[in-house]
Amino acid sequence: MSHTLYRYYGNGSTAKLPQCYDVNLLDSLIHVAVYFQASTEALQPQADLWLGETSSFYGSGAPNLSNTYVAGFLWLDKLGIAAVVGHKRVFRHDFIGGYFALLDANQNPLPDYWLSLLYKKLVGTKVVYVNGSLEYGRYLRVYAHCAKAPYPAGSVVLLLLNTNFTTATAELLNEDLASSYRDVFWLSPPAGDLTSTSVLLNGVLLELVDNRDLPHLVPAEDSPGSSLSVPSISFGFVVFRDTKIPAFLSVTIGSGDISRNWSGITFTAQRIINMAGGLAPAMLRVGGTDGDFLIFNPLLNKQQWDEVNKFVETVGWDFVFGLNALLRTPYPNGSWDSDNARMLLSYSTSKNYTVQWELGNEPDMWGTAIPAEDHAKDFLTLGDLVAEEKTVGKMLIGPDVAYSMDYFTEFIQSLPEGVLSATTYHQYYGNGNTAKLAQCYDVNLLDSYIHDAIDFQDTTEALQPQANVWLGETSSFYDGGAPHLSDTYVAGFMWLDKLGVAAVVGHKRVFRQDFIGGSYSLLDGDQNPLPDYWLSLLYKKLVGTKVLYIKGSLDYGRNLRSYAHCAKPPYPAGSVVLLLLNTNFTTATVELLNEELASSYRDVFWLSPPTGNLTSTSVLLNGVLLELVDNRDLPHLVPAEDSPGSSLSVPSISFGFVVFKDTKIPACTS
């Protein structure tokens, strides 16, 4: 169920030109949108809010205003505000009919049609936080989203409106944006006439081709820089195409699913798309033991490759694929035979797929004697191949060792700096066939990961300082996981603690084995979400990339385990989220020595098992069962509110997140 509201900026019969770019009039929507959103979330938390009918001015619009360029200020700003506050749909009145329509009486596109078309082409659903985007009195108005495919996952689009009659400057404080090349889609009126019924895109008139077909919307290219010049009294879009909004929590699908023709997952099912999209931005790694036995066409055919690439594009994920490293001439110990890889890379380039590349899985476990130094030469060959085939994705990632630090060290020592974008290793807490319940919250077992994480991080920083460290495959227990443990609530202790440790030591990505497949997956065999899926969804919703220091967060023997990050938007800049795990069977207390935290109101997202059953495949959020809405849609994740205080009570044998939403921690405001 959804609720709707209507909103116009005034009466069309009395509207005046300056109203269309009057910041006070534009600001009038903010209070209304925030109020209706908050009321809906409080009283009908399961329902979305739609702006069910809107345009510039009521009474069919304002002649010579609503149907002209200048009305775009009202329309684009409204789209920006509605997305920031959390509205799920905005209905433009009308497609055709009246002065406020997108098409005129002769069914020709008006300026707001072209603006809407660009929005649809460029703007993804995920809103990116911009400091001050709901403040009043902004003459330069800025909103941000993840950009839509075919821009690669991680690209950002800014919606920019300059309501002044002088050029404005937008300072880019984010280094990723400042260092990125940009595609500019700037809309302006012909001859500067704000009441023109035509519009220019980068100086070129927008019109139908042969009075029938949509034209190509061609951007102007702009170079990196620390600021943007925004032309006077105009608006448009700027796509930062080389950015990478971090995809820390990422997922895997085993290569074996390819040989089963993706039988475990329905890529086109809306419920799968919804659940996967909820974890975006993320990277999907398709790899594993079977990857070293896959041959492109026939074992991996073009249709299967197209399906997975279309899926990641749809849900906003990046993609990394593990190539077969055991094709060797002579077999088994000769040089890597790259012919089959070349076929796959060539096909991917022809389809414009963005794929990053691994080569081989757990080479320290291969039964053949391929030294790490020889495997490093394989990566040099792959690098040459990527350059020759002009692939869209150019990252090389490896070596994906199972555990051997010796193999890992020799491998990365044998490569020149700059070949690898990231080093990878795998980690599990033990064998799924012998795992016991108590291991899942055993602090000694949880602590065992700390040494590994630090070791791989330090070795990479010393030998390949330009490369990130990724935990390339991980879950609770190996060999498919432990039935009735890995797929239940209790496995969340291992998952949340691992995410906390990996972030503290400096890892940039953690790949959960599997999105679907085995007892350790996020979705069960019927493609239903398991407790660790809901934990991952909350992590994605709340936890920002900036890690905050907590004294003792890597100490051994901690029964109460805590980690801290800057909170994600829409929480305001300066907000902090704590990740808390209590492994004891008694309530624990966290003393808040920081005055900002102690004086802040809190949103609590606490996960617990139904009836206290640690091996339940369901999970409660603040006492309410988490489940899909209509077996398809993600629910609203509603916090419990908590008042300020100098301590936090942490329930026994459970875990969750606490957001301190009124803080202004300096590290989280820059």
Fold of 2-240: Immunoglobulin-like (2.60.40)
Q: What sign does the dihedral 273-274-280-282 (CA atoms) show?
A: negative
CB 317 within 8 A of CB 280: yes
Pairing verdict, β 234-240 and 249-254:
unpaired
Residue 559 in this model has a pLDDT that exceeds 90: yes
**Six token digits for residue 168:** 């404005």
Rounded CA-CA distance 169/586 in Å is: 56
With b meaning 16 or more CB within 10 Å and e meaning fewer, what string describes 507-533? bbbbbbbbbbbbbbbbbeeeebbbbbb
Q: Give the C-alpha distances (Å, rounded to integers) separating 268 from 88, 281, 612.
A: 22, 19, 36
**Which has more pLDDT, 650 or 665?**
650
Q: Which amino acids are annotated catalytic?
A: 362, 473
pLDDT score at 244: 61
Instruction: Give φ, ψ of 252 to 5 degrees.
Output: -125, 160
Report the relative pairing of strands 560-567 and 543-548 from DSSP bridges: antiparallel
What pLDDT digit, counting tens, does each position of 141-171 carry? 999 998 987 787 678 999 999 999 999 998 8
List all residues 6 or more positions away from 318 whose beta carbon is below 8 Å from its beta carbon.
Answer: 152, 153, 154, 247, 250, 281, 282, 283, 284, 312, 354, 356
Residue 1 confidence (pLDDT): 46
Query: Closest Cα to residue 424, out of 448, 393, 403, 451?
Result: 403
Q: Start-end ranges of CATH 3.20.20.80 in the chain?
A: 249-541
**What confidence score (pLDDT) does residue 670 get?**
65
- Cβ–Cβ under 8 Å, residues 434 and 478: no
Ranges of CATH 2.60.40.1180 domains, the chain: 2-240, 560-668
Closest-CA residue to 555 (of 619, 612, 634, 501): 501
Pairing state of beta strands 220-222 and 654-660? Answer: unpaired
Q: How far apart are CA 453 and CA 448, in angstroms?
A: 9
At residue 558, does pLDDT exceed 60?
A: yes
* Average pLDDT estimate for 319-329: 93
Cis status of the peptide bond prior to 399, with omega within 30 of 0: yes
Give the pLDDT of residue 242: 67
pLDDT in tens, 356-380: 999 999 999 987 778 999 999 999 9
Residue 346 scores a pLDDT above 70? yes
H or E segment to which residue 6 belongs:
strand 2-7
pLDDT tens per residue across span 238-269: 999 867 667 899 999 998 888 788 877 888 89
* Euclidean distance between CA atoms 44 and 30, whole angstroms: 21
Other Cβ atoms less than 10 A from the Cβ of 173: the count is 11
Share of the chain above pLDDT 90, in %: 73
Question: pLDDT digit string (tens) for 428-460?
Answer: 999 999 999 999 999 999 999 999 999 999 999
Fold of 249-541: TIM Barrel (3.20.20)
- 498-547 per-position pLDDT tens digit: 999 999 999 999 999 999 988 999 999 899 999 999 999 999 999 988 89
Residue 206 neighbours by CB under 8 Å, 6+ apart: 109, 114, 198, 199, 200, 215
Q: Topology of domain 560-668, per CATH?
A: Immunoglobulin-like (2.60.40)
pLDDT at 65 over 60: yes
Tell me the average pLDDT of the chain. Answer: 92
What percentage of the chain has pLDDT greater than the value 70?
A: 97
pLDDT over 90 (residue 480)? yes
What average pLDDT does range 319-346 have in this prediction?
92
If you write DSSP's letter for every residue of 395-458 in order, what string do you get?
-EEEEEESS-HHHHHHHHHTS-TTS-SEEEEEE-SSBTTT--GGGGG-HHHHHHHHHHHHHHHH
Tell me how far apart the alpha carbons of residues 23 and 140 are, in angstroms, rounded to a whole number: 9
